[in-house]
Amino acid sequence: MKSDSKKWALITGAGRQRVGFHVARALGKKGYSLALHYRTSATEARESAGILSQEGFEIRIFQADLAVESQVGRLVEQLHSECGRLDALVSCASTWHAVELDKTTAADYLGFFESNVLATVLIAQKAGLLMTRQPEGGCIVTVGDWAVTRPYLNYLAYHTSKGAIPVFTKALAVELAHLNPRVRVNCVEPGPVMLPAELSPQDREEAIGATLVQREGSPDHVAMAVMSLVENDFITGVCLPVDGGRSIWALNR
């Protein structure tokens, strides 16, 4: 049965309990029913869905490789069939790891392009077109990276892929508003949030020390930024750093 009277939000990359999971929880607290996407982490997705369901949120799970256009189309069609509508999309699925310059190959560029660019643009395009057919429109939030303005060492292929997200966000905002002015597209650009466990103590200290607020961010900081963009219907085509000031300040870093 379609749930046409409910607000539905799709959060990609929300299978594991990382940033996407916390964004989903924030949307749930605002009354959205939640569609969680995963690619390969089926067990983790069921665990995340169970946690959020116990907190009282309506949950559905969808699987797709977001770099494959046919699978993206299937996901959007399935979601529309089961849920009846889509009011918000937050594209959290991405990949981040270091590759030294002299070891960076075409395969690295292609891999990051698929996981960070295609996995964002294909779902946003198809979901956005669905939203244009709804009188109420909808809101899309992409996830970029603060470092597109100040890249750091050993992440050339990653930075190249993430650099496409701000331009895509602005261009898609123009395209979709032309079809339905109630459809908005914005971007959040996280900084040092949920730093990986394998990061060395020195690298962790440097990342935190390069912020103005002198501390690591949390997934909830990103979720709050997402919600501010979802709820303010006079904002579209903007990119909001959530980085503790790191993108505007660095002391010998």
pLDDT tens digits, residue range 40-73?
Answer: 989 999 999 999 999 999 999 999 999 999 999 9
| Helix/strand/coil for 70 | helix
Extended beta strands in 2-147, E state = 8-12, 33-38, 59-63, 88-91, 138-143
Q: Examine the pLDDT at 201 and tell me if it is beyond 50.
A: yes
Integer Cα distance of 244 and 253 in angstroms: 15
pLDDT at 3: 45
> Domains in the chain, start-ordered, CATH in brackets?
8-248 (3.40.50.720)
pLDDT at 4: 55
* 196 Rama class: left (phi>0) / alpha (psi -120 to 50) / beta: beta
Given 3-state DSSP classes, what are the helix, strand and coil percentages for the chain, each rounded to the nearest 5? 45, 15, 35
b/e 83-104 (16+ beta carbons within 10 angstroms → b): bebbbbbbbbbbeeeebeeeeb
Number of other residues whose CB lies within 10 A of the CB of residue 202: 8
CA 121, 128, 38, 18 dihedral sign is positive
| Helix/strand/coil for 81 | helix
Residue 187: φ, ψ to 5°: -140, 140
| Helix/strand/coil for 229 | helix
Number of other residues whose CB lies within 10 A of the CB of residue 29: 13
Rounded to two decimals, the pTM is 0.94
> What percentage of the chain carries pLDDT values higher than 90?
83
Chain centroid, CA 249 distance in Å: 24
Q: What 8-state DSSP symbol labels residue 230?
A: H
**Pick from 64-73, 83-92, 177-186, 204-213: least confident:** 204-213
pLDDT in tens, 104-130: 999 999 999 999 999 999 999 999 999
Q: Across the chain, what does the average pLDDT equal?
A: 94
Give the type of residue at 99. V
**The two three-digit tokens of residue 121, written as one number:** 């643009």
Integer Cα distance of 124 and 89 in angstroms: 7
Integer Cα distance of 122 and 113 in angstroms: 12
The size of the chain, in residues, is 253
pLDDT in tens, 13-46: 998 889 999 999 999 999 999 999 999 989 999 9
**The two three-digit tokens of residue 131, written as one number:** 């939203």
